[in-house]
Structure 1
Amino acid sequence: MSLQQPEFGERLKALRAERGLSQQQLAGGGMSPGYLSRLESGARPPTAKAVEYLATQLGVSTAEFRGLRSDSLAQALAIASSTEDADRALRILEEALATGAPSEDYALQWQAMRVMSGFQQDIGDREAQLRTLGQLVDLADSIGRPELQVYSHVSRARCQRALGQMEHAHESAVQAVATANAHSLPPRDTAGALMVLISTETAVGNLIEAREHAAELDELAQGLGQVQQTEALWTAAHVHLRLGDQAGAAQRLGTALGLLDSRVSPLLWLRLRLAAASLHLQMSPRNLDVAEKCLVEAHPAVELVGSAVHQQEFTLLSAQMAFYRGRLDEAGRRCAELAETTPLLAYQDELALKMLRSQLRVLGGERKEGTRELQTLAEEAQARGSIDLSKEIWRALAETLAQL
């Protein structure tokens, strides 16, 4: 592994501090304190000669500079958690974990992998995130704490759902709920597991089970805080929409939108409006006015607190809104904007984007090609277990052909 800045400088400074040495003392007679200071700050790359000299002065091997040692995993975690550079944070954590932390320190490894999975999600590397979450589940089982086991299974289920692996996501969610119930975990933990279970049941078409669990979630959420009650209403609204109860879905969404104060959780407030816009666009007939109102409210929040993922979700919803309003040129421009960015959308949103592009092809004169694409997308969703999404694609195909 090559020696890179600023990691080398950070490691050098930590080793010097551990020994209580000043920069002048460490520099000795073989290096100027000014040069040492630039090495520690990351302003200068280390030469092989400098590394050998400093290793001798510190009484360590040069390997100590090639990554954080196993006993400094906590330090790596602290550095990674304090930086906004996701690539750098991932590199620090990967190097620290690769050195092999002590086997008895499973909890610290679990925390490092939990943080690492979050950064992997931020940069859109969901395949890597899924591998990390698999390790997270294994570590939680080794530790034996049900709280960690439930969190790990829930996180893996969400990642699998985002990748379109609905059946696997459902299995992970079932395991999370079973563990929470078996150990009588607090309602907050159980509610989180129930939410992801309900979403996967809805996706794979198990609507009766989803409705029963939604009722259970509603009762459980009554004793929880504003955030959990909002999430429970959001989850229940989706179930009622799939059951054909559009009035019930709209009522729950309206309650959720009014319940959460943006100052309590700005990010959830934003996500809720994006979700509400999406659900209102899926209603039959589509509730365009309410969906557009949600997007108008969400727009400033996307700029202030939204991540790159939220920005892409907002652009997709705006493209869909333009399409349903008959502004096909605008819809096409929005799709082109997304094509120029690194794809970060979850599987369902990515499929929705492909669906919209195919609809535009049909209406743009490429009826045969666009129709074939929509049929392929519907079959793909069906094969992946996304029954709900497959139905939506067939509906889009029928509506688009009807416009011709």
Structure 2
Amino acid sequence: MPGKPREAEVAGNGTAGVRPDEPTAIGRRVLRLRTERGLTQRQLAEPAYTPAYISTLESGKVRPSEAALRHMAERLGTTPEELATGRPAHLAADLRLRLADARHALATGAPEDAATLFRALRAEAVEHRLPAEEASALLGLGDCLLESGDLAEARECFGAAERLLADEPLTRRVPAVRGRAAAHRLSGELRYACYLLETTVDQLNASGLHDPDSLLLLYTASIAPYLDMGARTRAGRAAELALALAPRVDDPALLAGMHRGVARTLIAQGRITEADSSLAKAQELYQQLHIRTDLAHCHWMRGYVHAQHGDLERAESELCTARAMLDSKRAALFTEQVEVELADVLRRRGKVQEAEELLRPLLTAGEQDTGALRPGRGAVHAGAAHRLLGLIEEQRGDDPAAEEHYRAALPLLEHADAAGDVADLCRLLGDLLRRTGRVDEALDTYRTGLGHRATPGTTTLGPAPAGPPM
């Protein structure tokens, strides 16, 4: 991550350690601009001031008033802000335009390339003491790091953005909260991701800041960790609240994300046709916005929908499309997660060797390899990969190897609080243990699974957040 904000050098004088808004810095700036324009102190001063005042100001012994700044700026052909702060005229507006360009680069290209742009823009915002623009750069950089799978650094970026905006209204900090929650979810910390989102929703409602855009973003973001934890009722409630807010939101990217999130709850409820329709709406919006990563996620989810409906050929096609799109963007973590789900479809289609060839590299990469699924980086999908390899080994008749994979998956999923996945895994492992004569171990394993299935998302989470007044 880029270094901590540093004090900028005074523009044009090469002196470090002096704040750009201190009298010394302002005086040197006035002296430089006056000299460049060939003006004498008298010419700069008259008719409102004296040459002696200009001399005192240039030596840094007096801070100019706003009226004096306006007078000198007019004579020097600049702006009062540039004289007072050292920022070139229109710098903040120019930075915001370039931040939008960097966002477009992230939407259409590789996250590493966009990250380079955001890092440079952040350094420029730090130099010119523009905290709002620095926060925007950090948010963009955090999103780049989410795509590439650098989750710890992504959390740092989102946290730094929150701190920069600490004195701003909570609505300004919501995108940073959403980013931090996404990083925790991808790390396998589902409960904490839910806590962050729920707490922020409650704070918004308690403070009377019923901002539709912010609430829609938070409710949509909470759907995925709720479902991963098995808290389907809460996920459905979050989807209902998001749909109720949608008519009050104009941002097409937010609406597309909402349709994608709602589709997940519809899939969980078995409402496949409605889920596919919701995904089609999201896909249309992402195509209009040219946001390739989210468009790939729509193909990914449609593949999952077809797999749930038993149409494995179409599922494979959609997942292959998603994988190719994400791989072309070098969105490493998302590509690996799609490969796990594609491997499941391939296994179900009888293409066992192809499935195994996809899965093993995802788990055997070294701990320092950014391409490895492991605790802290794609833990839920790492558990799913072990589960699939266990099924393949069982199919092949190698019960010890299957058991090894099931046991490797269990702590990954338990740590992530993925209740439904833990229950299913315990069923598989219990069946294997019972079949191999270890009945007592099987019973203990079944009990573990039942314990997770009995209370998903109820004892582990606090009261559900209230909806806003509509």
Fold shared by both chains (TM-score > 0.5): yes
Structure with larger Rg: 2
Alignment check: 8 A CA contact 1:378 1:393 kept: yes
For residue 237 of structure 1, what is the amino acid of its counterpart? A
Q: Name the SS for the 2:288 alignment partner.
A: coil
Residues 113 and 364 of structure 1, relative CA distance in 2, 3 Å threshold: same
Distance 1:234 1:335 in 2: 26
Give 2:219's aligned residue: 194
Alignment check: 8 A CA contact 1:101 1:109 kept: no
The more displaced of 296-305 and 193-202 is 296-305
For residue 342 of structure 1, what is the amino acid of its counterpart? T
Q: Deviations over 1:154-213 (max 9, x none)?
A: 111111111111111011111332344344444232111101223223333333332222
The more displaced of 208-217 and 190-199 is 208-217
Give 2:342's aligned residue: 318
Residues 149 and 202 of structure 1, relative CA distance in 2, 3 Å threshold: same
Confirm or deny that 1:342 pairs with 2:370.
yes
Alignment of 1:234-249 (within 5 A): 234-242=260-268, 245-246=269-270, 248=271
Give 2:160's aligned residue: 135
Alignment check: 8 A CA contact 2:382 2:412 kept: no
The more displaced of 250-259 and 319-328 is 250-259
Give 1:251's aligned residue: 273
Distance 1:315 1:279 in 2: 16
Distance 2:327 2:231 in 1: 37
Q: Which runs of 4+ in 1 moved over 6 A?
A: 70-77, 93-97, 398-404
Residue 101 of structure 1: CA displacement? Answer: 5.8
Distance 1:298 1:400 in 2: 34
Q: Name the SS for the 1:342 alignment partner.
A: coil
Structure having the higher helix fraction is 1
Which of 404, 414, 435 is matched with 1:382 structurally?
Answer: 414
Alignment check: 8 A CA contact 1:120 1:128 kept: yes
Alignment check: 8 A CA contact 2:174 2:218 kept: yes
Confirm or deny that 1:158 pairs with 2:186.
no
Give 1:264's aligned residue: 288
Distance 1:314 1:294 in 2: 10
Alignment check: 8 A CA contact 2:276 2:305 kept: no
Residue 272 of structure 1: CA displacement? Answer: 1.0
Give 1:126's aligned residue: 151
Q: Name the SS for the 1:144 alignment partner.
A: coil
Q: Deviations over 1:126-145 (max 9, x none)?
A: 112112222222222x2322
Alignment check: 8 A CA contact 1:150 1:179 kept: no
For residue 125 of structure 1, what is the amino acid of its counterpart? D
Give 1:148's aligned residue: 172
Residues 279 and 348 of structure 1, relative CA distance in 2, 3 Å threshold: farther
Alignment check: 8 A CA contact 1:126 1:159 kept: yes
Alignment of 1:3-402 (within 5 A): 81=102, 85=113, 88=116, 92=120, 105-140=130-165, 142-181=166-205, 182-224=207-249, 227-242=253-268, 245-246=269-270, 248=271, 250-259=272-281, 260-261=283-284, 263-266=287-290, 267=292, 268-281=294-307, 283=308, 286-295=310-319, 298=322, 301-302=325-326, 307-336=331-360, 338=362, 342-343=370-371, 346-394=378-426
For residue 311 of structure 1, what is the amino acid of its counterpart? T
% identity of equivalent residues: 16
Residue 92 of structure 1: CA displacement? Answer: 4.9
Q: Name the SS for the 1:143 alignment partner.
A: coil
The more displaced of 207-216 and 77-86 is 77-86
- RCO higher in 1 or 2 (8 Å CA, sep ≥ 6)? 2
Q: Name the SS for the 2:350 alignment partner.
A: coil
Alignment check: 8 A CA contact 1:154 1:176 kept: no
For residue 370 of structure 2, what is the amino acid of its counterpart? T
For residue 297 of structure 2, what is the amino acid of its counterpart? R
Give unmatched runs, 5+ long, in structure 1: 1-10, 21-69
For residue 382 of structure 1, what is the amino acid of its counterpart? E
Q: TM-score, normalised by structure 1?
A: 0.67
Distance 1:306 1:88 in 2: 14
Residue 235 of structure 1: CA displacement? Answer: 2.1
Residues 398 and 320 of structure 1, relative CA distance in 2, 3 Å threshold: farther
Residue 275 of structure 1: CA displacement? Answer: 2.0
Give unmatched runs, 5+ long, in structure 2: 1-8, 15-28, 34-85, 106-110, 437-470
Distance 1:219 1:145 in 2: 24
Residues 302 and 212 of structure 1, relative CA distance in 2, 3 Å threshold: closer
Residues 155 and 379 of structure 1, relative CA distance in 2, 3 Å threshold: same
Q: TM-score, normalised by structure 2?
A: 0.58
Residues 144 and 224 of structure 1, relative CA distance in 2, 3 Å threshold: closer
